[in-house]
Amino acid sequence: MKELLGHWHLWLVIGLLMVGLYTVIARDNLIKKLLGLSIFQVSIIMFYVSIGKIDGGTAPILIDGQTDTVFTNPLPHVLMLTAIVVGIATMALALALVVRIQEAYGTIEDDELSRLDAEEK
């Protein structure tokens, strides 16, 4: 039991993954789908940052005379900073597309958009 509770951050990641996935699948509103994708992305970023930390590890700064130092790998953290920037840009583009869809069709509900598309064909 202690082993399961010791990895609370992984349980949080799994919970956020499920909330994001459910929101994307179960909702018809495009804004809600985008929020679900954003929650899903946050959970992935949290996962990578949490596995990048090593217990007892320090920043990878070399100090003269220390040879038995355990370092934490900074690469996952750097990659996730890049993922955050790309995610923000992608979300901004997606929201702009939703605004254009609203202007063109008068709705952002997925089922109504499908119905309108079927009527046009």
Q: Residue 1: what pLDDT?
A: 67
Name the 3-class secondary structure at 75: helix
Backbone angles phi, psi at 39, to 5 degrees: -65, -40
Which pLDDT tens digits describe the chain residue by residue (121 residues)? Answer: 677 677 788 899 999 999 999 999 999 999 999 999 999 999 999 999 888 877 788 888 877 877 778 888 888 888 999 999 999 999 999 999 999 999 999 999 999 999 988 988 7
Helices (H), 56-109: 75-105
How many whole angstroms separate alpha carbon 23 and alpha carbon 117? 23
Beta pairing partners, 109:
29
